Amino acid sequence: MSPVRASRRSADAYRYSSRDWLGKASAGLVCGVFLALGAGGLLARFALGGVGRFSLEHQFTMWLVSPLLLAILCACFMFRSGLRAWAWLGAANLLVWGLLLAVP
Amino acid sequence: MRSDVIKMYKDVHTWTGIVCGLALFIAFYAGALTMFKAPLERWASAPSVFGELSPLENVPVLVEQVLARYPEAGQGYQIVVQPSAQYPARMSWELPREDADEHHPPQLMHADLDAEGELVVARAAHSPLPQLVDELHEQVGLLLPHEVAMPIMGMIALLYGLALVSGCVVLLPTLVQDLFALRIGHNLKRMWLDVHNLLGVFSLPFHLVMAFTAVIFAFHDQIYAAQEQLAIRGSDKPQSAAAPATPAAPAVGAATGVVSGASLAPAALVARLAEQQPDFIPRRFVYRESPQRGPALVVFGDNPRYAMRSPEGGVAGLDPVSGAIEMTDYMPGMQDAWGATITSFFSLHFGTYGGAPIRWAYFFLGLAGAALFYTGNLLWLESRRTRQRARSAGAVTQRRSVQVMGALTVGVSLGCIAGLSLTIAAAKLLPALVADLELWHAGLYYAVFVGVIAWSFWRGVARAAVELLAFAAAATATIPLVSLLSLWLPGVGWNHADLSVLVDVVALAGSLVLALLARRTARRVRRAPADSLWFIAARAEGDAGDSLVTNA
């Protein structure tokens, strides 16, 4: 058996289960909230060129938080562990918030 | 799809569903009733002291007389074009109240001129009942302060969204073979699953909309605050679109003196509106004199061709002097893409588009939603009950979790139905008996709700289901009964000769359905196998101390 095939076999042997649900769901909720907020911020800052307080564009970015958060919450169970969920979603947060805070 | 992924999402679906199912039942049942809040408000409110509205042309005289006697009305008042139970007279204003917010509206005063031109003034007397139904819907039945209940509701809405998506993942592999199959037969779990899938898939868009919007309704303040702190920082540079955007309070005109009468009279305003927006039907004008912004004029109304932001209709800001429409962010048919998109979120939740057919569709979708959560709980119970082994001779005792969840499922859902029915029926009797209607309506609802749950635990699932269904049917029948009594007995209640009789008709139909369900459940209990949740042990009958579901 070649090493390539062996590694693929071991990857396929991973079985998803709801065992690590708390780790995954907490990552989905906490990182999801900040990611959704950050994504709305990116949209407001870079795509819309800034939005006024409570303007319709601001309201739209506020509404955006709900579908993004729900999508992240639903998808976070596809990470292989709670640790991986926190790492990936945390990294995504760093990227989004880095852009948001670093770019003047 | 991989079977382990499906199994994982099945676990997610099961646990999110079981945690939020009962709260969602209350939210959906009460929410279905709020679809007809206006007829319910009319039905529940005593006839007002005001007759027909005085002619629109006489409004300047009316305003002058009111302001002479009630100077505080100069802060802001409303001129009503289409009367309702909440606004029965031509003019209304708010009494100052500190704790007033959007969920506890301030006390309203009403005034109009009678046929002789005499001023008639009265405090608002419309029933607080529809507000209670609305609050039960918004707060998923929790008797808690709004600030505490809303975040709980929001978490439930998030779990609900998770349950919807995970449920779809579970169903996907067998979607084609399961969707149109309704296998009524020996396998009851199979049948409940088919019903659950059928309801879930066909009302999925409705449910996705409700989950997505409810999250925002729960958390919008927090999200706005967080965004201001973090996400859209530094964006406070002047924006052309940003200036006149404060919702429902546009700063229009300079110090033109709306209240002092320099503005257009309401009759002329209606004519000016009809010129600009022929399809718009104004409901009421709101005048506000604010020290910072000067006088402002806002009109609420309907445009049946467009989706509207709330059950109150659309809103436009007007120039009080010229009557020109100036603020169109929330005006149906005059919104830009952003405004129309945001309005679509609201109207998809409230069903404020498409007129009566959509209201009825939402009513039945709401009831179907309640049924979805009820069947979901039954599935949980069916898959967890202890089955009688083929050869075992001893007693089959159901697990504690099954007993508790079974009693809660029956108690919470039927308690909600019976409690709402009885507190609605009481609306025509309470005003003659007690002063604090709000307190009594809420007290009555929760007394019945808690009593029914207690009964369910005491009697056990099988007995309680039959007895409480019959009780809920009787409770719902009291709604048309009270109307009948009002017809026959002098001094009891009232009846309006209008569409609000719909409340009686729908309640009667609901009562019949509940009675039918009670009969079917009784038959089901008689035929239940010994290890079923619905089995009543013959020899344990009368033994009050026995566990909820047992087999002797």
Cβ–Cβ gap B235/A67 under 8 Å:
no
pTM across the whole model: 0.89
Whole-angstrom distance, CA of residue A41 vs CA of residue A96: 9
| Residue A23 included in any domain | yes
Task: Decide: B460 and B548 in contact? Cβ < 8 Å.
Answer: yes
Q: Is A102 on the interface with B (CB under 8 A)?
A: no
Distance from CA of A44 to the nearest CA of B (A): 7
Q: Is B11 on the interface with A (CB under 8 A)?
A: yes
Nearest CB partner across the interface for A52, out of B7, B220, B245: B245
* C-alpha R_g of chain A: 18
User: Two tokens at B20?
Assistant: 């939020």
Classify B330 as helix, strand or coil: coil
Q: Is B228 on the interface with A (CB under 8 A)?
A: yes
Quick one: closest CA in B to A78, which residue?
B5
Cβ–Cβ gap A51/B239 under 8 Å:
yes
User: Two tokens at B360?
Assistant: 């009825």
Chain B CB contacts of A16 under 8 Å are: 2, 4-5, 7-8
Sign of CA dihedral B413, B419, B422, B425: negative
pLDDT tens, residue by residue, A49-78:
888 888 899 999 999 999 999 999 999 999
| Residue A8 included in any domain | no
Higher pLDDT, B546 or A40: A40
Q: What is the pLDDT of residue B448?
A: 98
Q: Is B221 on the interface with A (CB under 8 A)?
A: no
Helix and strand totals (H; E) in chain A: 4, 0
Q: What is the pLDDT of residue A89?
A: 97
pLDDT of chain B, 552 residues: tens digit per residue: 788 999 999 999 999 999 999 999 999 999 999 999 999 999 999 999 998 999 999 999 999 999 999 998 988 899 999 999 999 999 999 887 666 666 666 788 999 999 998 999 999 889 999 999 999 999 999 989 999 999 999 999 999 999 999 999 999 888 877 777 777 777 778 888 888 999 999 999 999 999 999 999 999 999 999 988 876 755 444 443 333 333 343 333 333 344 445 678 999 999 999 999 999 999 999 998 766 666 689 999 999 999 998 888 999 999 988 899 998 889 998 999 999 999 999 999 999 999 999 999 999 999 999 999 998 998 888 888 777 665 555 566 778 888 899 999 999 999 999 999 999 999 999 999 999 999 999 999 999 999 999 999 999 888 999 999 999 999 999 999 999 999 998 888 999 988 899 999 999 999 999 999 999 999 988 887 777 777 776 534 333 333 333 332
Classify B77 as helix, strand or coil: strand
Helix (H) / strand (E) containing B91: strand B91-94
Distance from CA of B14 to the nearest CA of A (A): 11
| Residue A3 included in any domain | no
Cβ–Cβ gap B215/A70 under 8 Å:
yes
DSSP state of B249: -
Whole-angstrom distance, CA of residue B180 vs CA of residue B167: 17
Buried b / exposed e over B504-536, threshold 16 CB at 10 Å, is bebbbebbeebbebbeebeeebeebeebbbbbb
Distance from CA of A19 to the nearest CA of B (A): 9
Cβ–Cβ gap A70/B212 under 8 Å:
yes
Whole-angstrom distance, CA of residue A102 vs CA of residue B537: 71
Q: What is the pLDDT of residue B524?
A: 83
Distance from CA of A2 to the nearest CA of B (A): 25
Nearest CB partner across the interface for A37, out of B162, B213, B230: B230
Whole-angstrom distance, CA of residue B92 vs CA of residue B528: 60
Nearest CB partner across the interface for B212, out of A52, A57, A66: A66
Q: Is A43 on the interface with B (CB under 8 A)?
A: no
Classify A54 as helix, strand or coil: coil
| Residue A14 included in any domain | no
Q: Is B538 on the interface with A (CB under 8 A)?
A: no
Q: What is the pLDDT of residue B550?
A: 35
Cβ–Cβ gap B223/A55 under 8 Å:
no
Structural domain total, chain A: 1
Helix axes B502-527, B461-488, angle to 10 degrees: 150
Q: Is B216 on the interface with A (CB under 8 A)?
A: yes
User: Two tokens at A10?
Assistant: 């071991």
Q: What is the pLDDT of residue B295?
A: 67
Cβ–Cβ gap B227/A58 under 8 Å:
yes
* Residue A8 confidence (pLDDT) above 70: no
Helix (H) / strand (E) containing B421: helix B400-425
Q: Which amino acid is at A62?
A: M
Cβ–Cβ gap B215/A74 under 8 Å:
no
| Residue A6 included in any domain | no
Q: Is B2 on the interface with A (CB under 8 A)?
A: yes
Q: Is A81 on the interface with B (CB under 8 A)?
A: no
Helix (H) / strand (E) containing B344: helix B337-350
Q: Is B5 on the interface with A (CB under 8 A)?
A: yes
> How are strands ordered across the β-sheet holding B325-327?
B119-123, B108-113, B91-94, B76-80, B281-290, B294-302, B314-318, B325-327
Nearest CB partner across the interface for A58, out of B9, B161, B232: B232
Classify B509 as helix, strand or coil: helix
Buried b / exposed e over B135-169, threshold 16 CB at 10 Å, is bbbbbbbbeeeeeebbeebbbbbbbbbbbbbbbbb
Question: In this predicted complex, what is the ipTM?
Answer: 0.89
Cβ–Cβ gap A74/B228 under 8 Å:
no
Cβ–Cβ gap B235/A63 under 8 Å:
no
Whole-angstrom distance, CA of residue B112 vs CA of residue B63: 9
Q: Is A103 on the interface with B (CB under 8 A)?
A: no
User: Two tokens at B217?
Assistant: 């309704």
Nearest CB partner across the interface for B12, out of A18, A38, A54: A18
Give the residue from B79, B315, B363, B397 showing the smallest Cα distance to B206.
Answer: B363
Sign of CA dihedral B266, B267, B272, B275: positive
Looking at every residue in chain A, the average pLDDT score rounds to 87
Cβ–Cβ gap B8/A74 under 8 Å:
no
Whole-angstrom distance, CA of residue B280 vs CA of residue B87: 19
Query: What domain range includes position A68?
Result: 19-102
Q: Work out whether strand B119-123 and strand B108-113 pair parallel, antiparallel, or are unpaired.
A: antiparallel
